[in-house]
């Protein structure tokens, strides 16, 4: 599809100026705070060059807060994937032979450039994906830089990572990422793969390609050898072509469990390696002895961070029955204070839902919950003529077997269940196909350690939630996937360890 971009003023050649929300501290007079410019059209990044899609097809990526197109982006197909895998294969031999210290230098350069372009990356992330600017500014972008810094440090120490066992890179990695943390997921994928000496073809999500493309500009400016990183934008069919391609030695996928299962089937019986980071239905346990106000803040952070578009979101609140009423009063009062609206307003707590499709998915699950007899409480939603928004919502009287308690909603919707004993809490928390995350609020630290071993979850937080660090491994059990990203363990996903 060809699109025409609405420009109010004549732009500089091939670039255009974007308007921000009024609350963004925009001051053209100050160095480094000028307008962010996007290209009208973005091509693939293949073999170190900007390459038009073989099929000649582009699509519009839109701002979910305004429904306006932001830029045209290449829609990749099998032929583009073929070119990208070929480029990555050509680059593999020299890149993998480079001393780790040299590879590390490139990664340090990328990390610093992310910091230098932090403001631009944060704004574009919020415009393209809908997340509040305070999150992209204070979380996504700094974490992305940290991830490159962290793995840059490993690049020359790989032989020490596995007790002296010999290691070698896998080859060409095909990496497919979702739309909820577009830049950060790209960093989680690229940094360890490159540090270990692999080359990469990255497929960003169709609704949020822009920051991965800006990252490819950073990579180009850092003068990585051509073909070491290739970015093919497009839809699910481009992802599927990458999975199918026999020249890909390793597939790393973050996304839905449904697509993860398809990918696992496609690779079954081959010698190609796979890691899957899939969905979740995190249990957030609050015990009677927990500091209540802090626990409420933790629960809010656990479910409403990034509009609830978080695979490890604490979407099932399990609260001890004796304090349930008191906690709910505080929770309902607190969600009324959350600002829902313009992602570029620095006071916004909950931005736009990433896409119309995702909004419809949330609405359908919420309607199913109401039909099943759960009780809904939503904060009022400011009237918006355009854009995709959903109010922070809490459901009580949720049955264990209901869709609200079982299915991943991936939106700002919390389901509340209660328990009377610790063993009942564990049983309910583990009553899910997923196994990605859990949180525990209690005054007894011994209970945190005890329960951490009993909860079937890849990450368990104690008296906090949604805390991340590049040195800490992340990943799932059960239908939340396998393999780890982050930390020393994240290196194993990109190496043959002898």
Catalytic residues: 277, 311
Residue 407 contacts ligand NAP per CB under 6 A: no
Contact mark string toward ligand NAP, 176..215, x via CB under 6 A: xxxxx----------------------x-xx---------
Q: Least distance (Å) from ligand NAP to the CB of residue 497?
A: 23
Measured CA to CA, the distance from residue 146 to residue 93 in angstroms comes to 27
Residue 470 contacts ligand NAP per CB under 6 A: no
Closest residue to ligand NAP, judged by C-beta, is 239
Residues in the chain: 498
With CB under 5 to 8 Å by kind, the binding choice for 279 among Mg ion, ligand NAP, none is: ligand NAP
Q: Of these, 120, 128, 277, 345, which contacts ligand NAP (CB under 6 A)?
A: 277
Contact mark string toward Mg ion, 106..135, x via CB under 5 A: ----------------------x-------
**Long-range contact set of residues 427-431: C-beta below 8 Å, sequence gap at least 24:** 428/283, 428/318, 428/400, 429/283, 429/285, 429/316, 429/318, 429/455, 429/456, 429/457, 430/283, 430/454, 430/455, 430/456, 431/400
Footprint (CB under 6 A) of ligand NAP, residues 220-249: 235-236, 239-240, 243
Q: Which residues pair with 418 in a beta bridge?
A: 319
**Long-range contact set of residues 390-397: C-beta below 8 Å, sequence gap at least 24:** 390/307, 390/353, 390/359, 390/362, 390/363, 391/340, 392/304, 392/335, 392/338, 392/340, 392/350, 393/366, 394/328, 394/331, 394/332, 394/335, 395/369, 396/328, 397/373
The three-state secondary structure class of 128 is: helix
Measured CA to CA, the distance from residue 197 to residue 416 in angstroms comes to 46
With CB under 5 to 8 Å by kind, the binding choice for 128 among ligand NAP, Mg ion, none is: Mg ion
Residue 311 contacts ligand NAP per CB under 6 A: yes
Residue 358 contacts Mg ion per CB under 5 A: no
Footprint (CB under 5 A) of Mg ion, residues 37-76: 61
Q: Of these, 136, 143, 180, 207, which contacts Mg ion (CB under 5 A)?
A: 207
Residues making contact with ligand NAP (CB under 6 A): 176-180, 203, 205-206, 235-236, 239-240, 243, 254-256, 259, 262-263, 277-280, 311, 408, 410, 436, 476, 481
Residues making contact with Mg ion (CB under 5 A): 61, 128, 207
């Amino acid at each position: 599809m060809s699109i025409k971009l609405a420009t109010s003023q004549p732009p500089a050649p091939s670039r255009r100026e974007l308007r921000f929300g009024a609350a963004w501290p925009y001051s053209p007079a100050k160095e480094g705070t000028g307008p962010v410019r996007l290209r009208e059209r973005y091509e693939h990044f293949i073999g170190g060059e900007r390459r038009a899609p073989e099929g000649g097809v582009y699509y519009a990526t839109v701002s979910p807060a305004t429904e306006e197109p932001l830029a045209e982006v290449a829609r990749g197909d099998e032929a583009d994937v073929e070119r990208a895998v070929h480029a990555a294969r050509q680059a593999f031999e020299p890149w993998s032979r480079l001393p780790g210290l040299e590879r590390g230098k490139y990664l340090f350069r990328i990390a610093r450039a992310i910091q230098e372009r932090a403001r631009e990356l944060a704004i574009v992330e919020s415009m393209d994906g809908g997340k509040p600017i305070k999150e992209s500014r204070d979380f996504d972008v700094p974490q992305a830089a940290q991830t490159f810094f962290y793995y840059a440090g490993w690049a020359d120490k790989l032989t020490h990572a596995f007790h002296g066992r010999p290691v070698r890179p896998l080859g060409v990695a095909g990496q497919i990422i979702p739309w909820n943390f577009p830049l950060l997921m790209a960093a989680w994928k690229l940094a360890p793969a490159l540090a270990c000496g692999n080359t990469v073809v990255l497929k960003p999500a169709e609704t949020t390609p822009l920051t991965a493309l800006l990252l490819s500009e950073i990579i180009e400016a850092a003068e990585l050898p051509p073909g070491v990183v290739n970015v093919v934008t497009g839809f699910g069919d481009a992802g599927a072509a990458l999975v199918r391609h026999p020249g890909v030695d390793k597939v790393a996928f973050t996304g839905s469990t449904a697509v993860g299962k398809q990918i696992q089937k496609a690779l079954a019986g081959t010698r190609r390696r796979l890691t899957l980071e899939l969905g979740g239905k995190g249990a957030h346990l609050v015990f009677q002895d927990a500091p209540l106000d802090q626990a409420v803040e933790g629960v809010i952070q656990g479910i409403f961070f990034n509009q609830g578009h978080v695979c490890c979101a604490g979407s099932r609140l399990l609260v001890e029955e004796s304090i349930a009423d008191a906690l709910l009063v505080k929770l309902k009062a607190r969600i009324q204070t959350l600002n829902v609206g313009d992602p570029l307003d620095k006071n916004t707590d909950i931005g736009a839902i990433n896409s119309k499709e995702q909004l419809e998915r949330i609405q359908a699950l919420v309607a199913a919950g109401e039909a099943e007899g759960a009780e809904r409480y939503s904060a009022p939603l400011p009237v918006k003529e355009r854009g995709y928004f959903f109010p922070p919502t809490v459901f009580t009287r949720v049955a264990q077997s209901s869709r609200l308690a079982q299915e991943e909603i991936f939106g700002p919707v919390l389901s509340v269940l209660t328990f009377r004993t610790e063993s009942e809490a564990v049983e309910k928390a583990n009553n899910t196909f997923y196994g990605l995350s859990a949180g525990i609020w209690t005054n007894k630290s011994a209970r945190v350690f005890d329960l951490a071993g009993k909860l079937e979850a890849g990450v368990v937080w104690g008296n906090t939630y949604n805390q991340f660090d590049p040195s800490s491994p992340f990943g799932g059990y059960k239908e939340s996937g396998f393999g780890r990203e982050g930390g020393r363990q994240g290196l194993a996903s990109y190496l043959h360890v002898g």
